[in-house]
Amino acid sequence: MLMKDKKSLQQELEELREEYSKTKDNKATNKHLSMIRAKIASINKQMTERKSAKGAGFSVKKSGDGVVALVGFPNAGKSSLLGILTNVESKVAGYAFTTLEVIPGMLLHKGANIQVLDLPGLIEEASSGKGGGAKIASVIRVTDLILFVVDIKNYTDLFKLLDELDMLGIRLNRRAPRARIERSWTGGINIEKNGHSAPDPRSVMKIFNEFGIYNANLILHQDLDSDQLVDLLSENIVYIKGIVALNKIDTLSSSECEHIRKEIVEKTEMEVVLVSAVEKKNIEELKDAIFNNLELIRIFLKPKEGEVDLAKPLVVKKGSSVFTVAKTLHSKIANNLRYAYVTGKSVKFSNQKVGSTHVVEDGDIVTLIYSKT
Ligand SMILES: Nc1nc2c(ncn2[C@@H]2O[C@H](COP(=O)(O)OP(=O)(O)O)[C@@H](O)[C@H]2O)c(=O)[nH]1
Ligand SMILES: [Mg+2]
């Protein structure tokens, strides 16, 4: 792969992106689109590698049970929502000319502490193509959920935003493809399908070559299409969950709002909550949607002798075991854990005795039995 200077990479990227959107509009073949994606991804990778070599980073300290990033165009209502969802008063204006500020707030909901980040300027930077891509990816990497904030009157902004994130290597509500690449010195490009489907060998070879790879084994653990292969080779792809807050519903009739909500759900398959920051409408629904999409659950602890504490749930990730619950309390408790009694959705009957690997569910009442040493 020829190393080009920064300017020409940037130019090439812009030309490719233009070609990509034109081709997309013309509904040309998928193969051609995949090759353009491969070229874009390859250039993005080179540009990111250069940036990280220079040490230009951006980090947000993670705290609480989950991190949510508000992403949207200016004036969509991000700051207003942050102010309502969290306990911090975020300045509504005045950040337009700073490079990149993060305004965090803490959302307390159902016993969970959820960090909410307002990222003014992020989208403008990303759209300008001035290295915003690396920045946006570095912020989004530390978040657990993107909350797209969209002004319902400009709802098609969302599609632009999603296209933009897609180009930056951010994949929403999808999992990383289960496939592996093993580099080799000779033998060309080989595909171990293991019963799964793959693009035709010629396309696979061309895509590998685009990334400067001429000898390698591609090992599949699932069906893989060209776009997924490009993602696999790009390495810097981020997979993250996303939901939409369709804001300013006070400016349209409810039937118009519902119509737009349906269109977005159909086109993006994302969960959409209709809200109004100004009229504080559906804010509880939005909080619930955030909580659910962070895949958090509440566990209620009951001492061996005594009453269950329903006021202070313990918040853990969905899929957590009794051991994780114990560990969340204290590592000593986890280490001395013998078994537990559980009442709730995860068991067949009340006070069922379970082992430490038992997976708990939302609302379970748990009594931990541990030896006190
Ligand atoms: N009508 C209406 N206006 C809103 C709503 N939410 C925010 N706004 C207004 O939209 C403008 C931009 O809001 P802001 O929160 O600063 O958007 P940001 O640029 O995304 O942070 C402000 O004038 C807000 O008062 C809403 O639900 N309804
Ligand atoms: Mg703002």
Provide the CATH number for the domain around residue 339: 3.10.20.30
Range of the domain at 357: 296-370
Q: Residue 71: give its domain's CATH number.
A: 3.40.50.300
Structure tokens at 55: 């040490």
For residue 1, tell me if it sits in a domain: no
In-domain check, residue 61: no
Same domain, 75 and 153: yes
pLDDT value of position 61: 54
pTM: 0.81
Ligand 1 atom with least separation from CA of 92: 16
Per-residue model confidence (pLDDT) at position 361: 96
Q: Which residues are 244's β-sheet partners?
A: 148, 272
Strand 216-220: give its sheet, edge to edge.
179-183, 216-220, 189-192
Strand partners, 370: 337
Whether residue 357 is contained in a domain is answered as yes
- Give the residue, out of 70, 73, 75, 147, with the most ligand 1 atoms within 8 A of its beta carbon, to mutate for a pocket test: 75
Are β-strands 103-109 and 112-118 bridged in parallel, bridged antiparallel, or unpaired?
antiparallel
Q: Which of 198, 218, 234 is the last residue of a domain?
A: 234
Same-domain pairing of 138 and 81: yes
The Cβ-side half-sphere exposure at 142, using a 13 Å CA radius, reads 17
User: Cα of 76 to ligand 1 centre, how many Å?
Assistant: 6
Q: Which of 288, 323, 352 is the last residue of a domain?
A: 288
CA distance readout (Å), 180 to 177, 191, 192, 284, 290: 9, 10, 10, 42, 33
Are 253 and 108 found together in one domain? yes
Which stretches of the chain score pLDDT less than 70? 1-7, 25-29, 48-63, 88-103, 120-138, 373
Using an 8 Å Cβ cutoff, are 43 and 218 in contact?
A: no
pLDDT of residue 1: 47
Q: Are residues 86 and 155 in the same domain?
A: yes
Q: Residue 165: its pLDDT value, please?
A: 85
83 within ligand 1 shell (Cβ under 6 A) = no
Ligand 1 atom closest to Cα of 72?
20
Q: What is the pLDDT of residue 90?
A: 42
Classify residue 15: in a domain, yes or no.
Answer: yes
pLDDT of residue 276: 98
User: Which of 80, 152, 279 should be mutated for ligand 1, with most atoms under 8 A from CB?
Assistant: 80
| Atom 9 in ligand 1: residue holding the nearest Cα | 77
List the beta bridge partners of residue 192: 219
For the record, the structure tokens of 360 come out as 């708990």
CA of 264 to the centre of ligand 1 (A): 21
CB atoms within 10 A of CB 369: 14
Phi, psi for 129 (deg, rounded to 5)? 75, 5
Does 319 lie in the same domain as 206?
Answer: no
The residue among 234, 255, 276 that closes a domain is 234
Domain count, the chain: 3
- Our answer on whether the CB atom of 278 is closer than 6 Å to any ligand 1 atom is yes
pLDDT of residue 140: 75
Strands (DSSP E) found in 17-88: 66-71
Please report whether residue 155 resides in a domain: yes
Task: Give the distance (Å) from ligand 1 centre to CA of residue 282.
Answer: 16
Ligand 2 centre distance from Cα of residue 95 (Å): 8
One domain for residues 87 and 145 = yes
Domain co-membership, 306 together with 332? yes
Cα 92 to ligand 2 centroid, rounded to whole Å: 5
DSSP string, 121-133: THHHHHHHTSSHH
**Closest-approaching ligand to the CA atom of 77:** 1
The per-residue b/e assignment along 193-209, b for 16 or more CB within 10 angstroms, e otherwise, is: eeeeebbeeebbbbbbe
Residues 152 and 258 in one domain: yes
User: Do residue 143 and residue 78 come from a single domain?
Assistant: yes
